[in-house]
Structure 1
């Protein structure tokens, strides 16, 4: 039955399940253990030979899709990023102990954030159809049947929706580094407005490919500390020289508080407010006064009805460069 609890008051939204695929830890428990132990998963890139590049290190996932119950057909069809998302969604649903078979599928939606989409597979397939770039006119006879899925970012949301049986809204949000949090915010809005009762939402990216590494090399955004990968990421340090590229995914099961309460679900947290702003200034640079970031924080606090002095933890996205910190 649709949740009608918010007709007079805004629906509250809670997190009831979490799934994680991360460097150094597949699954939320292993990932948490990695965090609290202070260990790093950064190493020399193994997906391809990084020798020609300025930055040759990354945080890679030790991930075998077959070990996580993806079928041979799913492995062939899905980019690594989509594989991450599927595994995360499954874990999040299991963690939430929700029985989607007892819920109207039209009341369940999906929203996935991704910054670079299926870059790895798209790059690999372009090498094939162009004969390693020798021909500008590609030979479609060599194209895999699911090349379209690699090209269109929305395919990952459709794939996750297919996996979980969600027939409600399915969307992809791509806003660079904030894609994941913006996807969660979009999912929260759908629950608040009453369009759905449950959302599977989060983000997935597998950007460790030559073209992506080259993009960041060109603007010197990533650390060249190739001889010391374990200590290359050092935000706020006076010797910081760029961030470290990584891959992974995380997905949440979000529910209206009333829906979660009816089924007796455990809750990790409530999403009380969010704010989003664009500085309309520069693709990678920030205004010196940082007013757009400050405004986004003010909006989130106001929506959550929280005073700044009540905030206990601040989680930051850091570029590990002098400009931006």
Structure 2
């Protein structure tokens, strides 16, 4: 009998929203949560806007020792992980810990803490040799992003496969895809998965400045990210986290768990073309979509909604539009599509999981969140990108995609499970 991977729990920390309920409210209302950077003085940078999370670790249940020890991205993962596990109704103390795994995604790991500690230890960069007497004793954990996956494993008691997936901006979707594979192959019955990222530090901002990839609408941060709009000028960096509980279907049914949806198909490809460049035809993303559809045994007319990568850069939106046309044919013109980054920004390795969570909630509620700030559609992006206002529609099957530097392209099919408790 084949094993099927379903999602039974969600936990979210997002710009503009702490918790699943608040996150869905933001998406459904089409509210934007991007603003001027407040974490540090951004005046020296070309782009001075971001999607920041109003996160209070102590109020979220962390101890002062946790706050001192854990990077901000790890703090996000722990808090969102607790929400997801509680939502799934799991009791790990009565489970075989070797059947529980973790698959966490992150693009830049503990960058915030690494930059902070280097600045302190080098006296603002003046010292060639860093004085370790001024750095925290947890510096090794910051150097190794796998420490965040290990922390999540400690929280859940997972003694099965524990992995950190780092494939750039597709890390959040790839980690959940990997979790599904662990379930399907029989390596685990439950995998706590998702993506976390806290990249809002000077070194990250300047990297995207150099690439000219981020928006410079500093005087209007709420409307800066404009996917598929003729006036778009780049992405808006963000932070955030989404953790999902991936579980074997019969295991979930046996304990009467709620089921948000099934991971029916997943695929990842690389364009082997350019570190940051994309071809407008979208052949690489189209290939991932086609393989995911084949795995899910579904044809284009039966995809009810597409969650786009929708970063708001000129080349990405053209690349995606081409990929949808190439993989779905004429059905691309009648399938509603929207992008969440228009509201919460681009949280790099976390965004794919935040988008998966949003898609599952859209399926549950029968409502497609809009693409915010889409006022002047680009004539070259001529598909139905659900501008500004949410749209009611019954959703049984959803496609979500991700695109990342390095040429990574990923696609996932999420589907309702017949007869499941939701």
| TM beyond 0.5 | yes
Q: CA RMSD in A?
A: 0.8
Equivalent of 2:77, from 85, 99, 105?
85
| Residue in structure 2 matched with residue 16 of structure 1 by the alignment | 8
1:8-30 residue CA offsets vs partner (Å, 9 max, x unmatched): x3211110000000011100000
Q: Residue 142 in 1 paired to residue 134 in 2?
A: yes
| Residue in structure 1 matched with residue 62 of structure 2 by the alignment | 70
In 1: Cα distance, 2:306 partner to 2:29 partner: 19
Tell me by how many angstroms 1:140 deviates. Answer: 1.7
Structure 1: runs of 5 or more not aligned? 1-8
Tell me by how many angstroms 1:303 deviates. Answer: 0.4
Q: Residue 153 in 1 paired to residue 108 in 2?
A: no
Tell me by how many angstroms 1:290 deviates. Answer: 1.7
Tell me by how many angstroms 1:291 deviates. Answer: 1.2
In 2: Cα distance, 1:103 partner to 1:319 partner: 40
In 2: Cα distance, 1:324 partner to 1:61 partner: 25
In 2: Cα distance, 1:178 partner to 1:64 partner: 27
Q: Residue 254 in 1 paired to residue 260 in 2?
A: no
In 2: Cα distance, 1:188 partner to 1:114 partner: 17
Equivalent of 1:229, from 215, 218, 221?
221
- What SS class does the counterpart of residue 274 from structure 2 fall into? coil
Equivalent of 1:310, from 281, 302, 325?
302
Equivalent of 1:46, from 38, 52, 60?
38
- What SS class does the counterpart of residue 108 from structure 2 fall into? coil
In 1: Cα distance, 2:26 partner to 2:313 partner: 25
In 1: Cα distance, 2:43 partner to 2:280 partner: 36
| Residue in structure 1 matched with residue 364 of structure 2 by the alignment | none
| Residue in structure 1 matched with residue 403 of structure 2 by the alignment | none
Q: Give me the TM-score of the superposition, normalised by structure 2.
A: 0.74
| Residue in structure 2 matched with residue 293 of structure 1 by the alignment | 285
- What SS class does the counterpart of residue 209 from structure 2 fall into? helix
| Residue in structure 1 matched with residue 182 of structure 2 by the alignment | 190
Q: Which moved more, 1:282-291 or 1:245-254?
A: 282-291
- What SS class does the counterpart of residue 288 from structure 1 fall into? coil
Q: Residue 117 in 1 paired to residue 106 in 2?
A: no
In 1: Cα distance, 2:129 partner to 2:272 partner: 37
In 2: Cα distance, 1:143 partner to 1:227 partner: 37
- What SS class does the counterpart of residue 286 from structure 2 fall into? helix
- What SS class does the counterpart of residue 137 from structure 2 fall into? coil
| Residue in structure 2 matched with residue 4 of structure 1 by the alignment | none
Aligned partners of 2:9 and 2:88 also within 8 Å: yes
**RCO comparison, higher one (Cα < 8 Å, 6+):** 1
Equivalent of 2:88, from 90, 96, 113?
96
Tell me by how many angstroms 1:101 deviates. Answer: 1.2
Q: How many residues are paired up?
A: 317
In 1: Cα distance, 2:291 partner to 2:146 partner: 29
1:218-274 residue CA offsets vs partner (Å, 9 max, x unmatched): 011000000001110101111100011111000001110010011010100011010
- What SS class does the counterpart of residue 8 from structure 2 fall into? strand
- What SS class does the counterpart of residue 109 from structure 2 fall into? coil
In 2: Cα distance, 1:108 partner to 1:128 partner: 39
Structure 2: runs of 5 or more not aligned? 318-422
| Residue in structure 2 matched with residue 214 of structure 1 by the alignment | 206
- What SS class does the counterpart of residue 287 from structure 1 fall into? coil
- What SS class does the counterpart of residue 294 from structure 1 fall into? helix
In the TM superposition, structure 1's runs of 4+ consecutive aligned residues that sit over 4 Å from their partners are none
Q: Give me the TM-score of the superposition, normalised by structure 1.
A: 0.96
- What SS class does the counterpart of residue 277 from structure 1 fall into? strand
In 2: Cα distance, 1:167 partner to 1:70 partner: 23
Aligned partners of 2:225 and 2:312 also within 8 Å: yes
In 1: Cα distance, 2:68 partner to 2:2 partner: 43
- What SS class does the counterpart of residue 199 from structure 1 fall into? strand
- What SS class does the counterpart of residue 316 from structure 2 fall into? coil
